[in-house]
Amino acid sequence: MAHPDRFLLAGVMGWPVMHSRSPKLHTYWMEKHGLAGTYVPLAIRPEGIEAALRALPALGFAGCNLTIPHKETALRVVDHADEKARRIGAISCVTVRSDGSLAGTNNDVFGFIENHREAFPDWRADQGPVTVIGAGGAARAVVYALAEMGVREIRLSNRTGDRAERLAAELGVDCTIVDWADRHRALEGVNLLVNATSQGMVGNPPLDLNLERLPRKACVSDIVYIPGETPLLAAARARGNSTVNGLGMLLHQGRPAWRDWFGIEVQVTRELRSLIEATI
Ligand SMILES: NC(=O)c1ccc[n+]([C@@H]2O[C@H](COP(=O)([O-])OP(=O)(O)OC[C@H]3O[C@@H](n4cnc5c(N)ncnc54)[C@H](OP(=O)(O)O)[C@@H]3O)[C@@H](O)[C@H]2O)c1
């Protein structure tokens, strides 16, 4: 039953934005909870992000999500950013406070952790090193999440080595930086491998990584979710590793946004997962 005097308003700002699954995700929750409202894709050019964010309170928006290319710039626009967002250097979510000020946070961390827990319930952070491939914006959230999960040794390898060095220094997380040429060897003895690059995503070539040294008991996580099974995940599954793609990360990052925007706890259900999977 829709609440008669409450119309929920939120959206996602990106450029481009029409590929985003977020409107489908948030509309599902509005319908599920019988709430009147809408969640819209907002195509905002890079030069327009500050004006767009500043317009949110006047338009009655509870907040918005941010996607490429706005996550870093938006951090500089908001009035408040939590420590996590500042360390990562990017925000994925803005909430309009009652005084009209804008608060930013990064929910990709929560999304990664919840997706991981759901997929690998028996995995333990103290059972070995973790190798992360990639050092872009998403990798920052992944490394932050792994440190928060209690991983003691994080091996980080990125095609552009400097970027990996900077990531570790700016996050303040102790990482072993592995030369790109040595990345295959960095799989020895690991408990988890994470692909945080865009390689393997539709339109991109597969991640060039030889899995020979990867222990068969290691879990493999790819934050890419289009396609549902990347060549990396297919190869890992074929040799007996447990795998998960990035869809759960996308779905779960929506939950804290709802808590902040509307004060409502929402769930990632099988039905929701199937609904979004059907669009991939
Ligand atoms: N599941 C989710 O909720 C979620 C959330 C955020 C992002 N993602 C996905 O994560 C991926 C990365 O996003 P991002 O925001 O981190 O992008 P980004 O900041 O542009 O970083 C891209 C990363 O991919 C690497 N890369 C690009 N081309 C490569 C190549 N030919 N060989 C090796 N490495 C290459 C880059 O290495 P260099 O530094 O050397 O260029 C960098 O590490 C995207 O596919 C995105 O869709 C998923």
220 within a domain of the structure (yes/no): yes
Residues 113-125: what's their mean pLDDT? Answer: 98
Q: Is 71 a catalytic residue?
A: yes
Edge to edge, what strands does the sheet with 93-96 contain? 37-43, 8-14, 63-66, 93-96, 102-105, 80-81
Is residue 103 located within the same domain as residue 115?
Answer: no
CB of 198 sitting under 6 A from ligand 1? yes
3 within a domain of the structure (yes/no): no
CB of 249 sitting under 6 A from ligand 1? yes
Distance 202 CA to ligand 1 centre (A): 12
**Dihedral of the alpha carbons of 221, 218, 174, 69, in degrees to the nearest 10:** -10
Is residue 268 located within the same domain as residue 229?
Answer: no
CB of 261 sitting under 6 A from ligand 1? no
Is residue 68 located within the same domain as residue 127?
Answer: no
1 within a domain of the structure (yes/no): no
Is residue 82 located within the same domain as residue 140?
Answer: no
Residues 153-169: what's their mean pLDDT? Answer: 97
Q: What is the tally of structural domains in the chain?
A: 2
Is residue 56 located within the same domain as residue 81?
Answer: yes
> Which amino acid belongs to residue 26?
H
Distance 138 CA to ligand 1 centre (A): 7
Distance 86 CA to ligand 1 centre (A): 20
Nearest CA to ligand 1 atom 34: 159
Tens digit of pLDDT for each residue in 203-239? 999 999 999 999 999 999 999 999 999 999 999 999 9
CATH number of residue 61's parent domain: 3.40.50.10860
Distance 164 CA to ligand 1 centre (A): 12
* pLDDT higher than 90, residue 6: no
pLDDT of residue 4: 55
CB of 158 sitting under 6 A from ligand 1? yes
Cβ atoms of 176 and 154 within 8 Å: the answer is yes
Q: How confident is the model at residue 113 (pLDDT cuts 50, 70, 90)?
A: very high
Is residue 89 located within the same domain as residue 120?
Answer: no
271 within a domain of the structure (yes/no): yes
CATH number of residue 160's parent domain: 3.40.50.720
Mutate to test the pocket of ligand 1, among 159, 171, 184 (most ligand atoms within 8 A of CB): 159
Nearest CA to ligand 1 atom 11: 198
In angstroms, rounded to a whole number, what is the distance separating the alpha carbons of residues 103 and 82? 8
Furthest-apart CA atoms within the chain: distance in Å: 60
29 within a domain of the structure (yes/no): yes
Tens digit of pLDDT for each residue in 39-85? 999 999 999 999 999 999 999 999 999 999 999 999 999 999 999 99
DSSP state letter for 33:
T
pLDDT of residue 3: 55
CB of 14 sitting under 6 A from ligand 1? no
Question: Average pLDDT, whole number, for the chain?
Answer: 96
Burial of 33 (0-12, 13-18, 19+ CB in 10 A): middle
Is residue 94 located within the same domain as residue 171?
Answer: no
pLDDT of residue 182: 98
Range of the domain at 29: 8-107+253-277
Nearest CA to ligand 1 atom 39: 160
Of 24, 32, 71, 84, catalytic: 71
* pLDDT higher than 50, residue 108: yes
2 within a domain of the structure (yes/no): no
Is residue 17 located within the same domain as residue 123?
Answer: no
Is residue 121 located within the same domain as residue 197?
Answer: yes
Q: How confident is the model at residue 1 (pLDDT cuts 50, 70, 90)?
A: very low
Tens digit of pLDDT for each residue in 10-46? 999 999 999 999 999 999 999 999 999 999 999 999 9
Is residue 168 located within the same domain as residue 221?
Answer: yes
Distance 134 CA to ligand 1 centre (A): 7
Is residue 181 located within the same domain as residue 87?
Answer: no
Percent of the chain scored above 90 by pLDDT?
A: 97
Is residue 145 located within the same domain as residue 206?
Answer: yes
Cβ atoms of 11 and 19 within 8 Å: the answer is no
